[in-house]
Amino acid sequence: MRLPALNKAKHGFTLAAFGFQLHLWKESDVEWCGTIRDGDQETSSRFEEDNLTLAKLHILAEARNRALVRWKDKEFPACETLVDSWEAMTFVDENQ
């Protein structure tokens, strides 16, 4: 009898910001993945950054730019103000 493959648990960070739900996790030494979720829509990206702070700023900047385009009449805080607001999360990568 063959057992089903176990999906690998990953550790990352989550944050609700700029009207979106953001997720961030590390794939390798310098490669990061992030998602920006808006209701049922989800945009994923892979990018390279040297450390966690830069990775957080990267995904925050993407989300802030989306928010500025969508809600032109609103003002949003700078990305730097939210760097320390992320919460740790664990999830199962169903693609592995």
Structure tokens at 45: 């990206």
Q: How many CB atoms lie within 10 A of CB 23?
A: 20
Tell me which residue range forms the domain holding 65: 9-85
Evaluate whether residue 51 is within a structural domain: yes
Evaluate whether residue 2 is within a structural domain: no
pTM: 0.84
Evaluate whether residue 58 is within a structural domain: yes
Query: How far is the C-alpha of 87 from the C-alpha of 20, rounded, in Å?
Result: 15
Evaluate whether residue 74 is within a structural domain: yes
Span between the terminal Cα atoms of the chain, in Å: 21
What percent of the chain has pLDDT above 90? 76
Evaluate whether residue 25 is within a structural domain: yes
Digit-coded pLDDT (tens) for 30-42? 899 999 999 899 9
3-class secondary-structure state, position 32: strand
What domain count does the chain have?
1
Evaluate whether residue 54 is within a structural domain: yes
7 vs 5, which has greater pLDDT? 7
Evaluate whether residue 27 is within a structural domain: yes
